[in-house]
Structure 1
Amino acid sequence: MYLEDILSVCLQGLNSRYPDHVIDINLEIMVVPEIDPKGWKADELIRHLNEKAPHFLQKMARMIIDSCETDIYLLDVSEETPALWLHCQGKLPPCHEHQKAQKVGRKNMFVKP
Structure 2
Amino acid sequence: MNENGKIVPSEIKGWNWGAFIYNVFWGIGNKTYLPLLCLIPGFNLIWMFVCGFKGNEWAWQKGDYKDIDTFRAVQATWNRAGLAQFIIGLIGIILYIAFIGFILTMATHTGGTSTHTTIV
Shorter-chain TM-score above 0.5: no
Larger Rg over CA atoms: 2
More strand by percentage: 1
Query: When you count helix as a share of all residues, which structure comes out higher?
Result: 2
TM-score by length of structure 2 reads: 0.31
